[in-house]
Amino acid sequence: MIIEDCNNDVGPIGVFDSGYGGLTILSEIRKLLPQYDYIYLGDNARAPYGSRSFDIVYQFTLEAVKHLFDSGCRLVILACNTASAKALRTIQQCDLPKIDPTRRVLGVIRPTVEVLGSITKTGKIGILGTAGTIKSESYPIEIGKMYPGFVTYGQPCPMWVPLVECREWEGSGADYFVKKYIDQLFSLDAEIDTVVLGCTHYPLLYHKIMQYMPQGVTVVKQGAIVADSLQSYLERHPEMECRCSKGGGCEYQTTESSENFSSMASVFLSETISTKHITLK
Ligand code: DGL
């Protein structure tokens, strides 16, 4: 086995989301890979991204990636489906070669699509996501490449992120919108047997989602899938693995109020954290 020499060129793994949703990914990554250092960045001041245009999501995501690189990250995970759908490919193909071809940015859509083949029996897949993710067609495109026989149905759920961001995921008002979007999805095809929660905020609504999901349908959450995929990536790329610092720490950054972020994030993470305010440009 080749022992990589990183010459102390190490830094934390960056995890980025428009707001709090990526914390559902971060917590699973840290459970599986506790040895690494992480920086979590939430662009809460400009969230939600779901209804924003392609150009704006790309611009905001690129600013976040550059900030995480400037903070020392060699590897950044876009823990946001909307950013993965609208910005990842351009950043990988056009920006990274200019910024630093040895750094990497990875998304959440591809690893999620990879597991679907081992779950579905009917080959009919439902995707619940933000308007931006669904409109981008990223899921049907990736699913079509990997599983040409599958049929994909996308359902935008524009009220779900605001419900989560406003801490209303347990509230009775959430039931109306949870039921509404699930019913709309299954009115497209009752044989859908696998539904992807294609937005990192949605696991907070999981209990309500399961109340209204037809029996026998498998609901796919992304956290553990993305964590497994990162572990496998680092095993296959020792030249990157040795550039990930190993102190077991995590720094939290937000573009909004650090007090608000810390208070909300502690609900997502079930632990108390402190947060640094930063500005993106
Ligand atoms: N959590 C993000 C995602 O996975 C979306 C939230 C937003 O609309 O900003 O798509």
Q: What is the pLDDT of residues 70-104, one digit of tens each?
A: 999 999 999 999 999 999 999 999 999 999 999 99
- Going by C-alpha positions, the residue among 136, 140, 104, 110 that lies closest to residue 13 is 104
Query: How far, in Å, from the CA of 135 to the mean position of ligand 1?
Result: 13
CB 58 within 8 A of CB 90: yes
43 CB less than 6 Å from ligand 1? no
Catalytic pick from 199, 242, 244, 250? 199
Predicted confidence at residue 1, as pLDDT, reads 46
pLDDT reading at 191 higher than 60: yes
Query: How far, in Å, from the CA of 9 to the mean position of ligand 1?
Result: 32
Alpha-carbon dihedral angle through residues 62, 17, 36, 32, given to the nearest 10 degrees: -140
Strand pairing category for 13-17 and 75-78? parallel
For residue 235, CA distances in Å to 2, 230, 241, 245 come to: 12, 9, 7, 15
CB atoms within 10 A of CB 2: 6
**Which atom of ligand 1 lies closest to the CA of 52?**
8
Q: What is the mean pLDDT of residues 124-133?
A: 97
Q: What is the mean pLDDT of residues 92-118?
A: 98
Per-residue model confidence as pLDDT tens digits over 220-271: 999 999 999 999 999 999 999 999 999 999 999 999 999 999 999 988 888 8
50 CB less than 6 Å from ligand 1? yes
Q: Please, what is the angle between helix 258-269 and helix 23-32, to 10°?
A: 60
- Does the active-site annotation cover 244? no
Predicted confidence at residue 113, as pLDDT, reads 98
136 CB less than 6 Å from ligand 1? no
Please give the Cα distance from 261 to 109 (Å, whole number).
Answer: 26
The CA-based diameter of the chain, rounded to the nearest angstrom, is 57
Question: Percentage of residues in the chain with pLDDT exceeding 70?
Answer: 98
**What contacts 190, CB < 8 A, 6 or more positions away?**
214
Query: How far, in Å, from the CA of 233 to the mean position of ligand 1?
Result: 24
Q: Whose CA is nearest to atom 9 of ligand 1?
A: 48
